[in-house]
Chain A
Amino acid sequence: MHIVRRGSILAIFLFGLAGCTVQLAPDYDAGLIEGINKANADTLVLFVSLQKGVTPQSFPDFETRYDAAIGSFSALRTQAEARFVPPLSQAFVRRIKATAIGANSSFGEICQEDTDCINPTPKMLDSIIGTLTEVEAVHKRKGFPAASAVIAGTCGVGETAQAASIGVMQYECSYLHDVEEALFVETSLKRE
């Protein structure tokens, strides 16, 4: 009798659960991934030039390349920001922010906009734009020394210890980190 009752409760629960499928995360956007890869390829060519060392006097020769890179990522940011974010998951984030966990932690700051923690790609593209803008400003202000051969093109701790000069590499590693993070988020949205 007891087993039958438990079975009935489980059956009711399962049939209730079986109501419908849900979408909580944004749709996969192949165009956005393609755009990030294209902008990244162009920007890495710029970084290879900067790795050799540049002076403030050479800045005018690079200005249009900075503009193109920053413009490309700004357009991608607009595209990512404009996508549909399911209201159900926004309500979920709002609910957490309203609880003690959300109020007594940095969750409220990190997920200041409800969509920040559901569709984080615009924030990652913001970081990329910020890095490129800073590289442009440093180039204009003081230039970059040539990166030591041991560290050029790498982001490792071991290579850093051996390098006499970092050059632009830390900025490049920071940039690459954000590109890889954005691509990780976007490729994850491709449902099986």
Chain B
Amino acid sequence: MASDLTTLGADIVAALQGVLAGAYGKVQGQAEKEAHYFEAQAAMMAKARISGEYDQEQFDWFLAKLQQQAQNFCRLLCAQTILTIEEAWNAVVGVIWKAIGGALSAAGLGGLVVPGAPTA
């Protein structure tokens, strides 16, 4: 029993590592793109303001726009966190049901279908 649980635990950790590493890589890449974007926007604002290409109205509009986009990036991070929790949970559930199904099949009782959660 202890040996089976050790194997199951290792399988769960491996499943979680896969999900979390994938999610981290995606978010890290997006965060780097966002940092470059905000840097370039600040450079353009400074350039156009100094040269007189932008009037005050345009300058103020871009300031407000950058704030809106920073908030949207936070929303993106929150949504990705929720998606990662979902994927991590379902990966663990999949490993466990696979182990249960394997044990039942070995006893000649057939496999099981992983049940879904109620939507509310």
A25 and B83 form a contact (CB under 8 A): yes
A118 and B93 form a contact (CB under 8 A): no
A74 on the B face (CB < 8 A)? no
> For window 17-67 of chain B, which residues contact chain A by CB distance below 8 Å?
26, 30, 33, 36-37, 39-41, 43-45, 47-48, 51, 53-55, 58, 61-62, 65
B83 and A111 form a contact (CB under 8 A): no
**Total A-B residue pairs with C-beta atoms closer than 8 Å?**
159
> For window 59-112 of chain B, which residues contact chain A by CB distance below 8 Å?
61-62, 65, 68-69, 71-76, 78-80, 82-83, 85-87, 89-90, 92-94, 96-97, 100
Q: Categorize the interface residue count of chain B.
A: 35 or more
* Residues of B with C-beta under 8 A to A42: none
Of the candidates B30, B53, B89, B117, which one forms a contact with A145 in the assembled complex, judged by CB atoms under 8 Å apart? Answer: B53
- How far does the Cβ of B8 sit from chain A's closest Cβ, in whole Å? 7
Q: What is the CA–CA distance of A174 and B55 in the complex, to the nearest angstrom? A: 18
* Residues of B with C-beta under 8 A to A123: 71-72, 75
A127 and B72 form a contact (CB under 8 A): yes
A7 on the B face (CB < 8 A)? yes
A40 on the B face (CB < 8 A)? no
Of the candidates A7, A24, A87, A130, which one forms a contact with B86 in the assembled complex, judged by CB atoms under 8 Å apart? Answer: A24
* Residues of B with C-beta under 8 A to A155: 37, 40
- How far does the Cβ of B118 sit from chain A's closest Cβ, in whole Å? 8
Of the candidates B33, B43, B80, B86, which one forms a contact with A23 in the assembled complex, judged by CB atoms under 8 Å apart? Answer: B86
A54 on the B face (CB < 8 A)? no
Task: Report the nearest A residue to B79, measured CB to CB.
Answer: A120
* Residues of A with C-beta under 8 A to B73: 181
A173 and B75 form a contact (CB under 8 A): no
A153 on the B face (CB < 8 A)? no
Task: Report the nearest B residue to A159, measured CB to CB.
Answer: B40
Of the candidates A21, A134, A161, A189, which one forms a contact with B93 in the assembled complex, judged by CB atoms under 8 Å apart? Answer: A21
B68 and A127 form a contact (CB under 8 A): yes
Q: What is the CA–CA distance of A174 and B42 in the complex, to the nearest angstrom? A: 11
A174 and B79 form a contact (CB under 8 A): no
B44 and A170 form a contact (CB under 8 A): yes
- How far does the Cβ of B26 sit from chain A's closest Cβ, in whole Å? 7
Binds B, one of A10-18, A29-37, A44-52, A62-70: A10-18
Q: What is the CA–CA distance of A3 and B1 in the complex, to the nearest angstrom? A: 11
Q: What is the CA–CA distance of A22 and B84 in the complex, to the nearest angstrom? A: 12
Subset of 5 A-B contacts with CB under 8 Å: A14-B8, A19-B117, A25-B83, A109-B71, A177-B37
